[in-house]
Amino acid sequence: MVALIICSVVFAAIGVAAGYFIRQVIGQSQATSMEQSARLALKEAERDAETIRKEASIQAKAEVLKAREDFEASVKSRRQEISALEERISQRELNLDRKVALLDKKEHAIEDKTRDLEQRLAEVNERQAELQRLIADERVQLQRIAQLSQEEARNMIMERIEKDLQSEIGALIRRNQEHARETSEREARKIVAQAVQRCAVSHAGQITTTSIVLPSDDVKGRIIGREGRNIRALEAATGVNILIDDTPEAVVISGFDALRREVAAKALEALIADGRIHPARIEEVVARAEDEINETIREVGEQALFEVGLQDADPAVIRKIGRLKYRTSYSQNVLQHSMEVAQLMGIMAGELGLDVSLAKRVGMLHDIGKAMDHEVEGGHAQIGADFLKKHGEDFVVINAIAAHHEDIAGESIYAVLCMAADAISSSRLGARSETTEIYLKRLEKLEEIANEFEGVRKSFAIQAGREVRLLVDPEKIDDNAAMVLARNVSKRIENDLKYPGQIRIVVIRETRCVEYAK
């Protein structure tokens, strides 16, 4: 048994040794094979590297040749340009030489002409002195021949002229006397009216200003904005003047146009209530306020027609009637005046047995031209008649309105009633103030003159007519043209208007860029 175990151990050892030997032989064989493969791969890599090197060398030489050819072509082109430039410079030098020679020639010619003119001037002075001496000699000889002095001859001529003009002077005196008799009554009325007006209370503050109550004085700073940008934007958008002073919790809107003041007041109240006050928001709120005012105008027109008992009016006519609420004539509200004339004409027509409704219609529409007389040339009577004719009004109404200031002959009794009712309404004590109306007309004329110039988008007369602001199109008017425009407007105002003091012309040219981040 032991022998068997020993034999097993011996055989096992012999097997292990044999396996190790066989493994060593196999490993050595594999190593030799791998070494040969590596040598073959190395030789192949060397051959590839040599091939790549040769190709790179060939490509580099080709690029060098191409670069050299490009450089030579560029040098050739540059040499041609330099040659052409040298030729142009040479030609310019030749032209300059010719011009210098020509200028020298002209300078010599001018010098010759100057000497000639100086010589001629000296001759003229000598001849003028000779003429003066001859005239003096002739005058002495005439006085000696006529045996009259110069003063005696002048007196004789004046006496003869005075006798010839005696008849003409008499006729002129008679004409002046007739004119004085014709105008004396009118002048007397004018003097009395001026005296009454001076004793009356002024209404200019009520007609040209509107006060806005503020929740607190802190709002004033927000209305003004940083460096005044908010108040400038509001004034530019509405055409009024915003007065912010020490009055507690109040600002004043100043402007001769009641409609603009109403738009500014609504916009300012909306901005104060909203709390967001900046230029873009101001433009948005002003546009919305204008839409609201237009709707209010329509409602006011309908209400006025209802109160006087009229119906069936064209929408355009209703809107013009509503605009009369914001129009004054000699400080008298034109809408109230029109309603009063309508009622007066209705009463008189009823007493005479005429058509009351037709009479009220004439009275209500007689001053409708004042709603657009700043837009159309001509008197308000003819403007209103033309407007109503376009919108299908009756001929009797049109004729009565056109004739109520005797511009044309009235063809019906309603024209006479309209003149009478208009005179009654406007002649009430304190109903009108001529000074205020003249002042407002002058402001309207200032804006009208400014709007006639090309490139002006809007114009506003502010500061009681002491300043006119022009908003111009920046694409049509540049900075230099703005200076010229301001001077041209000032010269036009000086020629066309009479006014106390001076008027400041301000041209505002603004380019605004807006973009939205999405």
Ordered DSSP codes for 454-465 = TTEEEEEEEGGG
Query: Strand locations in 194-349, DSSP E?
Result: 209-213, 241-243, 250-254, 328-329, 332-333
What is the edge-to-edge ordering of all strands in the sheet holding 250-254? 209-213, 250-254, 241-243
Q: State the pLDDT at residue 207.
A: 58
Question: What is the homologous superfamily of the domain 308-432 according to CATH?
Answer: Hypothetical protein af1432 (1.10.3210.10)
Q: Which amino acid is at 424?
A: I
Report mean pLDDT in 10-residue bins for the chain, 518 residues. 74 76 75 78 83 85 86 87 88 88 88 88 87 80 67 72 60 63 55 34 50 80 84 86 80 81 87 85 88 88 87 85 81 83 85 86 88 72 88 88 84 86 69 58 84 88 80 86 87 80 83 74
Q: State the pLDDT at residue 476.
A: 86
- Residue 149, classed as helix, strand or coil, is coil
**Burial code of 139-170, b = ≥16 C-beta within 10 A, e = fewer?**
eeeeeeeeeeeeeeeeeeeeeeeeeeeeeeee
Who contacts 468 (Cβ-Cβ below 8 Å, separation ≥6)? 446, 447, 450, 459, 460, 461, 462, 489, 493, 503, 504, 505, 506
Q: State the pLDDT at residue 193.
A: 38
Is residue 326 within 8 Å of 374, Cβ to Cβ? no
Question: Which residues make beta-bridge pairs with 461?
Answer: 468
Cα separation values, 32 from 39, 141, 482, Å: 11, 157, 100
Give the up-direction half-sphere exposure of residue 258: CA atoms within 13 A in the CB hemisphere.
19
Q: State the pLDDT at residue 201.
A: 31
Q: State the pLDDT at residue 1.
A: 66
What is the edge-to-edge ordering of all strands in the sheet holding 467-472? 456-462, 467-472, 504-509
Q: State the pLDDT at residue 270.
A: 87
The C-alpha R_g of the chain, in whole angstroms, comes to 51
CATH (residue range 433-518): 3.30.70.1350
Number of H helices, E strands in the chain: 16, 8
Name the residue among 295, 239, 300 with its Cα closest to residue 447: 239
Is residue 400 within 8 Å of 412, Cβ to Cβ? yes
Where in the chain are all domains bearing CATH 1.10.3210.10?
308-432
Is residue 458 within 8 Å of 471, Cβ to Cβ? yes
Q: Can you tell me the distance from the alpha carbon of 114 to that of 119, in angstroms, rounded to the nearest whole number?
A: 8
